Structure 1
Amino acid sequence: MATRSAVAAQRSASTDPAPLSAADVARGISRWFWNRQAVCLTEVILPGGRRVDVMALHSDGTLSVVEIKVAVADLRGDRKWPDYLAWCDRFYWGIPAGFDAALLDEDCYEPGSCGLLIADRYEADALRTPQVEKLSAPRRKKATALFARAAASRVMRAADEFLGSAEGGFG
């Protein structure tokens, strides 16, 4: 499936009256990964309680994490994102169409190693490719098991309303 360019995504943002939420951006980013044979989960809870916006498991077993920012104040105030680097092979910033991508060129956001995705509700485009920092085998095993348990718990809760909606550490 062909995707629109980032320019087209930016153009569509100006004609859509509703601002894009983090959930909208996550949807477009998830579709982008799907088109690259990767599966995604949103809001994955890591050990220590940090919550990743999007985690993607690629067909080769590598993992990507995306930190979504829809407001400049949220971007400027975020000090937790470096904690996510230990849980992925690739790290991306995800922003909505219309967000000033130049803000993520500042050194504090590590533009030389972090990727950048721009998304709308339907798709995304990569503005910058991240460096690959391979996880160690023990960390990959732990991260992949975390992803699998989160996915399985969501499937189980969706199939059985009596299991409840509490995360219970399963995400």
Structure 2
Amino acid sequence: MQDDLMPGQLLARGVCRHLLHHGFVTVEEMVPAPGLRLDVMGLGPKGELWIVECKSSRVDFTSDRKWQNYLEWGDRFFWAVDADFPVELLPEGTGLILADAYDAEIVRMGPEAPLAGARRKVMVQKFARHAALRLQGFRDPGVTASGISP
């Protein structure tokens, strides 16, 4: 299966493994609102929500025009890149995670911007539904992440 994964997906796997060591559960490719897709969202042991955008190259980063729209959907925002990525391109005031396919390291914490209670409730519900549908899809190939069978 690893051969089928794209470089950003391999980074996401390492990030998810690392966040699990910090007590976070994660989902990949979650849609918080139409037109947005988060690479990784982590739900922490105290209900905190972290967003991680995985960038596998300079081109991948410079072509991302939506990342600032992600900030309102989590308590912290991070970039995840590999050791060869030119980190000076990344905006100040954002978190930084160095990752590979097997693990990661939080180099710089993203600033905390706590979600309002109503937004947090919606996001935790979306997280739970996304995770449940993904799990159901493993048992029933007719189920997709949106819940709609083809």
TM-score under structure 1 length normalisation:
0.79
What is the CA–CA distance in structure 1 between the aligned matches of 2:138 and 2:60, rounded to whole Å? 31
Contact 1:53-1:66 within 8 A present in 2 as well: yes
What corresponds to 1:44 in structure 2?
Answer: 30
Instruction: Supply the AA of the counterpart residue of 2:17.
Output: R
What corresponds to 2:14 in structure 1?
Answer: 28
What is the CA–CA distance in structure 1 between the aligned matches of 2:127 and 2:30, rounded to whole Å? 8
Matching of residue 143 in structure 1 with residue 123 in structure 2: yes
Q: SS at the partner of 1:64? A: strand
- Higher relative contact order (Cα pairs below 8 Å, separated by 6+ residues): 1
What is the CA–CA distance in structure 1 between the aligned matches of 2:147 and 2:71, rounded to whole Å? 20
Q: 1:124 aligns with which of 92, 97, 104?
A: 104
Q: Percent identity?
A: 38
Residues 3-152 of structure 1 aligned to structure 2 (within 5 Å): 21-104=7-90, 109=91, 111-112=92-93, 114-152=94-132
Moved over 3 A (4+): none
In structure 1, list runs of 5 or more residues that go unmatched: 1-19
Contact 1:45-1:169 within 8 A present in 2 as well: no
CA RMSD of aligned residues (A): 1.5
Deviation at 1:167, TM superposition (A): 3.0
Q: SS at the partner of 2:107? A: strand
Deviations 1:89-134 (A, max 9, x none): 0000111221111221xxxx2x12x100010111101121111100
Deviations 1:27-82 (A, max 9, x none): 11001100000001110112213110000000000100011111111211211001
Q: SS at the partner of 1:84? A: helix
User: How many residues are treated as equivalent by the alignment?
Assistant: 143
Contact 1:89-1:132 within 8 A present in 2 as well: yes
Structure with max Cα Rg: 1
